[in-house]
Amino acid sequence: MAKKKLNKNWLHDHINDPYVKLAQKEGYRARAVYKLKEIDETEKLIKPGQVIVDLGATPGSWSQYVRNKLSGSVGGGINGTIIGLDMLPMEPIADVHFIQGDFREQEVLVQLEQVLQGRKADLVISDMAPNLSGIAVADAARMIDLIDLAIDFAQHHMKPSGSLLVKCFNGSGYSDIVGKFRDEFKTVVQKKPKASRDKSSEIFLLGKTLKNPL
């Protein structure tokens, strides 16, 4: 009974959510796009010519936004490279190279490396979140694991001057993640974009310029 009410409340909020309406109007696949857009507009992250890796890309609104920012030439095509990765399938987006696989698996990392062809990314963005079990400590550990892997990926495959943006939850283990970011990046900024629901402990961490690139 309580669960039914919760679902009904969620549905009510979702239908009346201005970002859901705006995403539908502007042709984006998810309201999540407005989180990236707000961060990009204040931090000026995405620029033509860049190599950008989008981790946890499905259904694809971040990749759509990045593609729009890298396009502009008459006659289509983009100026830059976009690689999206997700364990779930994604409807294709023109000019986005998509890899389906689990970021925690070595063979998926090898596929990413093959697409990069030795190039280093300018920007790595991660909206990945584990499926939540409801057990706070276990969920936090899985989130930290994904973020650790994203930091490790950035150290190996991002330009020293690049930036890493990751989604986190401001709960158990959060201060450790911030500490890790401070160890690895010269500048660390915490972001709570307006489209991130107030009720949610979701927060984004942006690290700029690697301290210890490999």
Ligand X SMILES: C[S@@+](CC[C@H](N)C(=O)[O-])C[C@H]1O[C@@H](n2cnc3c(N)ncnc32)[C@H](O)[C@@H]1O
Residue of 159, 167, 180, 191 with catalytic role: 167
Q: Is 104 in the site for ligand X (CB under 6 A)?
A: yes
Q: Is 59 in the site for ligand X (CB under 6 A)?
A: yes
Q: Is 196 in the site for ligand X (CB under 6 A)?
A: no
Q: Is 189 in the site for ligand X (CB under 6 A)?
A: no
The length of the chain is 214
**Sequence-distant (≥ 6) Cβ neighbours of residue 100 within 8 angstroms:** 85, 86, 87, 88, 89, 90
Nearer to ligand X, 33 or 210 (CB): 33
Q: Is 129 in the site for ligand X (CB under 6 A)?
A: yes
User: Is the peptide bond prior to 193 cis by the omega test (within 30 degrees of 0)?
Assistant: no
Among positions 147-176, residues that touch ligand X (CB under 6 A) are none
Burial of 76 (0-12, 13-18, 19+ CB in 10 A): exposed
Minimum CB–partner distance for residue 184 and ligand X (Å): 20
**Sequence-distant (≥ 6) Cβ neighbours of residue 18 within 8 angstroms:** none
Minimum CB–partner distance for residue 139 and ligand X (Å): 12
CB 160 within 8 A of CB 209: yes
Nearer to ligand X, 170 or 209 (CB): 170
Q: Is 116 in the site for ligand X (CB under 6 A)?
A: no
Among positions 27-56, residues that touch ligand X (CB under 6 A) are 29-30, 32-33, 56
Q: Which of 60, 80, 173, 207 binds ligand X (CB under 6 A)?
A: 60
CB 163 within 8 A of CB 187: no
83 SS3 class: strand
End-to-end CA distance of the chain: 53
Q: Which stretch binds ligand X (CB under 6 A): 39-47, 57-65, 70-78, 190-198?
A: 57-65
Nearer to ligand X, 30 or 178 (CB): 30
> Does residue 167 have an active-site annotation?
yes
Label the pairing between strands 51-55 and 81-86: parallel
List, by residue number, the catalytic residues: 167
Q: Please report, as ranges, the residues that interact with ligand X according to CB under 6 A.
A: 29-30, 32-33, 56-62, 85-88, 102-104, 127-130, 146
